[in-house]
Chain A
Amino acid sequence: MEAALDLIVPMLSAMLRVATPLILAALAGLFAERSGVVDVGLEGKMLFAAFAAAATASVTGDVWLGLGAAILASSALALLHGFACITLRGSQVVSGMAINVLAAGLSATLALAWFRQGGQTPALPSSARFGALPLPGAEWIAEIPVLGRLLVGVLGGHAFPVYLALALVPVAAFVLWRTRFGLRLRACGENPAAVDAAGVSVARLRYAGVLIAGVLCGIAGATISTAQGAHFATDMTAGRGFIALAALILANWKPWPVLWTCLAFGLLDAVAIRLQGVPMPMLGVPFPVQAVQALPYVLTVILLAGFVGRAVAPRAAGQPYIKER
C-alpha cells in the first residue's frame, strides 16, 4: 500500500500542476466559443501573458503585479481579436493565427531587447513567484489512514493558480448555465439573431466572452512563467494552447467535462514523463513517450470524426453576426 502511494501521490500531484494552465485556457476558450467567437489564439495570448508576468515580476519583484500585467497583456490581444472578429467581421481563425504569430514575435523580441539574456527573462527569486500554499488543516487530514496521505499529498502544497483554476470551474458552470448573462452569452453562440431580436447587443456579449477569455489566458500564462517556471523563455507555452483547444472539443464545450479532460491530459503528461526511457515489457524497445503525448490530438480527431461520441460545437461559432436590416 505504502509503495503504491509513493508512486501514485507524486503522479497525481503532477497531474494537477500540469493541468492548471490547460484548465484555465480551456475555460477561456469555453467563454469565447460559447459566445460565438472561435479562438485558436489561446496559445499566443498565453505566451504573451507568460512573458508579461515574468518580465513584470522580475522588474518589480511582485508576483501579483506580474499576474496583473499578464492579464492586461492577454486582454489587449483578446480585444484585438474581438475588434477583428466582431467589429470588422473578419475571419476568426485567421485572426487567431495572426495573434499566435504576433505573440511569438513580440515576446521573443521584447524579452531579448529588454533583458539581454538570450531571449529569457532573469530567473525569479522565490519571493517573486507563486509559492506552495499550505493546505489548511493538513496535519489533521494526514491522520486519516491512506486517504489522508493521498489528500494532503495530491491537493496540498500547490501554488495559488492551481486552486484558482479548480475554483473557476464551478464558477464558469454557474455563470454560463445559471445566470441571465450566461444564457445570453450561450445564445450568442447558438442563435445570435434571437438575442438581437430580444433587444440585446450581440456585439457587446461577444466582446464580453472574448475579454473573459483574455483574462483567463492571462492567468494561465502567468501560471506557466511564475508558478510552474521561474522565468520566461522563447515559445515556453509549447502548444499548451492547442491542447486546451483539444480539451475544449473533447469536453463538448462544457465546464465540468473541461475539468475532467484537462486532468486526464495532465495525467497522461505525468505518466509520459514517468515512462521516459523505461523499456516496454517483452518488446524491449523504449516506451514510445511521443505516442502518449500525441494521444490528446489523436483522441480529438477521432471524436471530431464522429467515430466515438459526437462533438457538438456552438452552432453559430465562427460566423460573424451581421444584423439584418
Chain B
Amino acid sequence: MTPRALPGWADLALLPALNLLLALGLSALVVLAAGESPAAAMHALAIGSFGSWDSVGYTLFYATDMAFAGLAVAIAFKCGLFNIGVEGQAAIGGLGLALVMLGLDAALPASVVVILAILAGALAGAAYGAIPGWLQARRGSHVVITTIMFNFIAASLLVYLLVNVLIEPGHMAPETRRFATGLPALSAFGFPGRSPVNLALPLVLLAAFAVWVLVWRTPWGYGLRVVGANPDAAGYAGIDQGRRIIVAMAISGALAAGIAVNELLGAQNKLILNFTGGAGFTGIAVALMGRNHPLGVLLAALLFGALAQGGAELAFEMPDLPRETVLVVQGLVILFTGALGGLLKTPLARLLARER
C-alpha cells in the first residue's frame, strides 16, 4: 500500500490544520486531567496572545525566535539533515554577538557596532553549525547525534564563561554587563503598546525571503534539494553533496543565531544563560508544521509565538497550569506532523479520492 498523493491544497492547508486540531484536542484532555476547563484555558490562551497590543507585541517577539529557529531547522531538512543543534548554535551565536558588543560598544557608533555584532553572531552560529556538517560530510558522523552533543558542549562552555570570565565584576548573577546599545524596539517606530518586539522581526522576514530565493530560485538551492530528496541522484548529477551539507548546516547555524539577535540585542541587552528558552526545539515543530517552506514556517512561528506568549498568560490566569502546558501542544504537534504523518494522510487521501 503506497501512500496516495493528496491534492496540493489538502496537503498544504487541510492536513496541518487537522493535525493541529488533533494536537489541541488531546491537549484539552490533559487540561481536563489537570482539573481545569479546556474552554477557559483556550480563552485565556487567545486573550493572552492577541487580546491587547501588548500581548500582540509579545506574541510577535516570541514568533521572531520561533521563525529563526524554524528556518534554521527547515533549510537543514531541505538538505536531508535533521539539525537538533539550533539551541547550541544560537548560544554560540549569542556568545559571538556579545563579545563584539562588550568589546566595541564604547568605541564605535551604535549602528555600526550593532551591525557588526549581528554579523559576528551569525558567523559564530554558522561556524558552530558547520562543524557537525563537516563531521557528517567528511567523517560520516551522524548529524543528529553530533548536534545533540554540541548543544550540551555549548551550554557547558557558556556556563563556564559566564560564571568565570564574562560575569560583571562584583555581581552574583552569571550574566555580562549591559550593552551600551541594542536593536531599537518597534515601539520606537510607532508600534502600539509596550513589548520587546524589535527590528529582529523585519530581519527574520528578510531572512525568510532570502531562504526562499536561495533554496527555490537558484541552481545552488536546486542542488541542495536534490541532495535532500535523493542523494544518489545528486551523486550522479555531479553535485558535491559534502559541500552542500556543510554550507546548509552553516546557514542553519547562522539563522539560529537570529534567536540571539532577537533576545540579546532586542530585549535583554546582555548575555545571559539559557536565553533561547527552548526555542531551538520549538523550531523543529515550527519547521514540520510549516512543511519546511519559509512561508509555512512564518505562519507556524506565529502560531507557536502565540502559544508561548499565551502560555505565559495562561499560567498567570490559571495557577494550576504552568507555562510548560504549551509544551504538551508542541510535543503533540511534532508527533502528528512529523512522526505520525501517515496517521491522517492515508485515510484523508482515500476520502478525497472517493469524492472525486
A residues bordering B, Cβ < 8 Å?
38, 40, 80, 83-85, 88-95, 97-106, 108-110, 112-114, 116, 119, 234, 239, 242, 245-246, 249, 285-286, 288-291, 293-294, 297-298, 300-301, 304-307, 311, 313
Contact = CB atoms under 8 A, between A and B. Distances in A.
Contact of A288 (B34, B160, B320, B340): B160
B288 A297 contact: no
**A95, A103, A304, most chain B CB atoms within 10 A:** A304
Interface string B139-169: 1111011101110110011011001100000
A206 to B, nearest CB: 15
Interface of B: 30, 33-36, 82, 84, 135, 139-142, 144-146, 148-150, 152-153, 156-157, 159-160, 163-164, 281, 284-285, 288, 320-322, 324-332, 334-335, 338-343
Contacts of A291: 156, 160
Contact of A290 (B141, B157, B321, B328): B157
Given A90-B340, A112-B322, A116-B320, A290 B149 contact: no
A94 B156 contact: no
Chain A binding surface, main DSSP class: helix
A290 B146 contact: no
A249 B320 contact: no
The 10 closest A-B pairs by CB, nearest first: A105-B327, A102-B331, A113-B34, A95-B339, A108-B324, A94-B338, A90-B339, A101-B331, A105-B328, A304-B141
B98 to A, nearest CB: 17
B160 A301 contact: no
Contacts of B340: 83-84, 88, 90, 95
Contacts of A288: 160, 164
A116 B148 CA distance: 33
A93 B144 contact: yes
11 contacts: A40-B84, A40-B148, A90-B341, A95-B338, A103-B331, A105-B329, A289-B160, A291-B156, A291-B160, A298-B149, A304-B142
A298 B153 contact: yes
B329 to A, nearest CB: 8
Contacts of A95: 335, 338-340
B332 to A, nearest CB: 6
A109 B34 contact: yes
Contacts of B320: 112-113, 116
B139 A98 contact: no
Contact of A234 (B324, B329, B338): B324
Nearest to A246: B149
Contacts of A102: 327-328, 331-332, 334-335
